[in-house]
Amino acid sequence: MPQQRLDCVDVGSEFCPCYLAETNECITCSHLQGKDFCDCHWRGICIYQEYAMNGYKSKMSRQIFNSQIVEKIRISDNCVIIKLKVTKTLARQLKEPGAYVFLRNNDMKHYFDAPMSIMDTDEQNGYIYIAYQILGSKTKMLDKASKEIIVRGPYWNGLLGKRYLKAVKNENCLVIARGIAQAPANLVIKKLLYNNNKVTFIVDRGAIEKVIITDFIKDLNSENLIIIQEDIKSDRGKSLIKNNLQTENVKLVFSGGSDVTHAYIIGLIDQKNLNPYIVATNNNEFCCGEGVCGSCSTFLKNGKSVKTCKTQINIREAIEGRIISD
């Protein structure tokens, strides 16, 4: 049986080849997996050649710097939106759906780094917007920062199914976001509208009990964007999703929320025997973001372990065996 080929989100970027090349664990290059032959499906510049040209070592690491907190908006007791000053280059790099950075209070050690999805960027002036939910030790200490925050990035694998977002044009799309997943949904909606898709957006307040995305999408093309606020687990929410799937010939569905939410939405899709592209938030646990620590690793059906902080896999495989209480 042929081995499943995996896609690395960093391949071809200025960060490729990465640390995994030095340990023969490259996600894409067979030579940098310890094999004696070339068996990759990458059509860009040869990764092994780049590795050799760089002195047989990995390329540059991500930036780490202190970022000024320009604005901090407390939405509720457990939800905050912050505006951070960054370089224009970093703001541009983080403009794509699925982009994220690691943040931490600059008074804390590196193991307080917390991955945070990018909600929006201002590349002209060098700002990024991030919404976070206060849950555990990392976010509680992050919330204590008042002037500066340490930022590490850019990273891009916050969504699974990214290639579908780039491919779908002039189609009907359904975007569903629950709770804090409204943050990554913003760039998803903008990308779909940019490609002239019609978007139905169902937003659920979830655990943060607020709709926080309104100010970020209010100026978007209203002709191609329908916004509905509803509890997706309610009977009405379930009917909304089912009816949209069945009557609108939906080409792509975005699921923003927990793995339980993903499984729920996939279940509704399967009930209708439909086969739209599915894009979803990547809910694996990220710690280093470089594929080194292994905290994000999950297993595919064939038993292969994959590093989900860098690897694009099918959302059905990603949530299998990982369903937890919502």
pLDDT above 90 (res 155): yes
Distance CA 31, CA 52 (A): 11
Sort strands 172-178 and 159-160 into parallel, antiparallel or unpaired. unpaired
pLDDT tens digits for range 71-129: 999 999 999 999 999 999 999 999 999 999 999 999 999 999 999 999 999 999 999 99
CATH superfamily name and code, 63-155: Translation factors (2.40.30.10)
pLDDT tens digits for range 21-71: 999 999 999 999 999 888 888 889 999 999 999 999 999 889 999 999 999
Q: Do domains 63-155 and 159-283 have the same CATH topology?
A: no
pLDDT above 60 (res 321): no
CATH 3.40.50.80 fits 159-283, yes or no: yes
pLDDT above 60 (res 323): no
Judge contact between 201 and 189, C-beta under 8 A.
yes
Joined together, the tokens standing for residue 213 give: 């995305």
pLDDT above 80 (res 15): yes
CA-closest candidate to residue 289, choices 151, 188, 184, 196: 151
- Contact residues for 312 (Cβ-Cβ < 8 A; gap 6+): 6, 7, 8, 9, 157, 160, 161, 162, 163
Q: What's 30's DSSP letter?
A: S
| CA atoms within 13 A of residue 252's CA, in its CB half-sphere | 28
Separation of first and last alpha carbons in the chain: 37
Distance CA 111, CA 288 (A): 9
Judge contact between 274 and 250, C-beta under 8 A.
yes
> Measured between alpha carbons, how far is residue 3 from residues 7, 29, 40, 89, 105 in Å?
13, 13, 11, 37, 42
Phi, psi for 235 (deg, rounded to 5)? -60, -40
- Residue where the block lists tokens 């690793």: 297
Amino acid 219: pLDDT: 86
What pTM was computed for the model? 0.94
pLDDT tens digits for range 283-316: 999 999 999 999 999 988 878 889 999 999 999 9
The one-letter amino acid code at 31 reads H
> Virtual CA dihedral for 247, 249, 255, 260, nearest 10 degrees?
60
pLDDT above 80 (res 159): yes
- Contact residues for 119 (Cβ-Cβ < 8 A; gap 6+): 81, 129, 130, 131, 183, 184, 186, 187, 213, 216
Distance CA 84, CA 103 (A): 11
N residues, the chain: 326
Amino acid 325: pLDDT: 36
Mean pLDDT of 7-11: 94
Mean pLDDT of 233-247: 94
Domain boundaries, the chain: 63-155, 159-283
Mean pLDDT of 216-240: 93
- Contact residues for 184 (Cβ-Cβ < 8 A; gap 6+): 97, 98, 100, 117, 118, 119, 158, 159, 177, 256, 281
- What is the residue-averaged pLDDT of the chain? 93
- Its sign, for the CA torsion 312, 315, 320, 323, is positive
